[in-house]
Amino acid sequence: MDIKSVIMAAGKGTRMKSETPKVLHEIFGKPLLGYILDNVKNITNENFVIVGHCAEKVKDYVEKNYENAKTVLQSPQLGTGHAVSMACPMLKDFKGLVLILNGDIPLITEETLKKFIEFHKQKNSDLTIMSAIFDDPSGLGRIIRESDNSLKCIVEEKDTTPEQKTIKEINAGIYCLDWDKIRPAFSQLSNNNAQGEYYLTDIIEWGKKNGLSVHAYIMENNEESFGINSRLHLAEATKIMQKRINEKHMINGVTIVDPETTYISADTEIGQDTVIYPSTYIEGKNKIGKNCKIGPCAHLRGGVEIADNVKIGNFVEVKKSKIGSNTNAGHLSYIGDSEVGAHVNIGAGTITANYNPLTKEKSKTILKDNVKVGSNTVLVAPVTVDEGANIGALSVITKNVSAWALALTRSPMRIIHDWVKNQLK
């Protein structure tokens, strides 16, 4: 059965206090919306992102990064039910399932979404919502079930009875719909409420009135329902993500010396027996090989491919570069937009000067196999240092260097004898 998704990303996120739309705030270099789109891309064949606040920014991100996603403008923004209805024209002839998610729940996983859909199918449900159990559900809408355990309704806390307040099951805000049966609801929702908005939750009552099968699926890990509404929430989600990712790598054979100070993006692959030392920050999409040593205090900024047996040492920053096996960059260096071969040694304080501030162009530095770069060297891109060449310390390399050559640009050393004594006379 075909599955499509509708992702609600139109809100401003007032509590973020930011010019950046909430769904574009980042964890490890990836926007919140990106986590949602990545978790549905292996499940759905088409995704509709509902945009509103800073629509062009969100649209630009989606179009540049996701081929199977389209943006749909919601203007004005008249509630969650109205947001989903914006996608109805694109789904008018669709007969499959539609997942509805919020764009600010980065902790939801692909595995949970697959279990959710499987539950929906097993129950022959027409409408299923995802729920979660919390010891303290204060402030959240409660799930009310029928005697047969199907879903009866959702009651907001302000409307709950004393008995209903004791319920710990809450609405997680994710829906799975048999679209052909539920689609008519979106043209029949009412905005007869204090806010004058069309609520997505009202489709539950609509489904019950129309004799449809309505259920709730309890997610196994309630932290996956965590929504981002403030900078505090963003930091809290980051810590949860950090722990989750680090544990996955350690289970798979990676040593992380201090998980509390190590941050690794969800899109980073790491081979067995690699050691990640404290205070290392890895963002974006990267691939690190086996038996590597990364850190302490290293920074990988994305687009990095590191082969086996490589050392990226303390205070080394790497961005958009390929590094061959058995290469060392021990300390205090920047490697950007580069191709570095195998058995290369990069001395302390080496910089690849890859950016032209006038043209705003970035050029490539290429270091072939067995190159040795002396300390405090600047490689001004575009430049190629061929196999086996050595670069003398304190050099500024602006031209290509041939294989097995020595290149150096520093002035000859001068020693003026007794200079200090003469100055003190």
pLDDT digits 0-9 by tens, 168-211: 999 999 999 999 999 999 999 988 887 888 999 999 999 999 99
pLDDT at position 413 is: 87
pLDDT tens per residue across span 252-265:
999 999 999 999 99
CATH class of 3-225: alpha beta
Low-confidence ranges of the chain (pLDDT < 70): none
Strand partners, 372: 345, 390
Is the preceding omega at residue 76 within 30 degrees of 0, hence cis?
yes
pLDDT at position 182 is: 96
Distance, in Å, from the CA atom of 298 to the CA atom of 300, rounded to the nearest integer, reads 7
Domain spans of the chain, in order of start = 3-225, 231-407
Q: Which of 25, 249, 299, 331 is catalytic?
A: 331
* pTM, to two decimals: 0.91
- Which one, of 100, 86, 79, 270, lies nearest residue 191 by Cα? 79
pLDDT at position 347 is: 97
pLDDT at position 110 is: 97
Please, are residues 375 and 394 in contact by the beta-carbon 8 Å criterion?
A: yes
Distance, in Å, from the CA atom of 319 to the CA atom of 299, rounded to the nearest integer, reads 8
Which tokens is 182 given? 């539920």
Distance, in Å, from the CA atom of 425 to the CA atom of 422, rounded to the nearest integer, reads 5
Q: Return phi, psi of residue 4, to 5°.
A: -125, 165
Distances (CA, A) of 352 to 157, 159, 320, 323, 365: 58, 62, 12, 14, 7
Phi-psi region of 201 (alpha: psi -120 to 50; beta: other; left: phi over 0): alpha
Distance, in Å, from the CA atom of 185 to the CA atom of 261, rounded to the nearest integer, reads 49
Q: What is the average pLDDT value for the chain, to the nearest integer?
A: 95
Span 231-407: which CATH code? 2.160.10.10
The secondary element (H helix, E strand) that includes residue 100 is: strand 97-102
Longest dimension (CA), the chain: 105
The full length of the chain comes to 425
- Catalytic, 82? Answer no
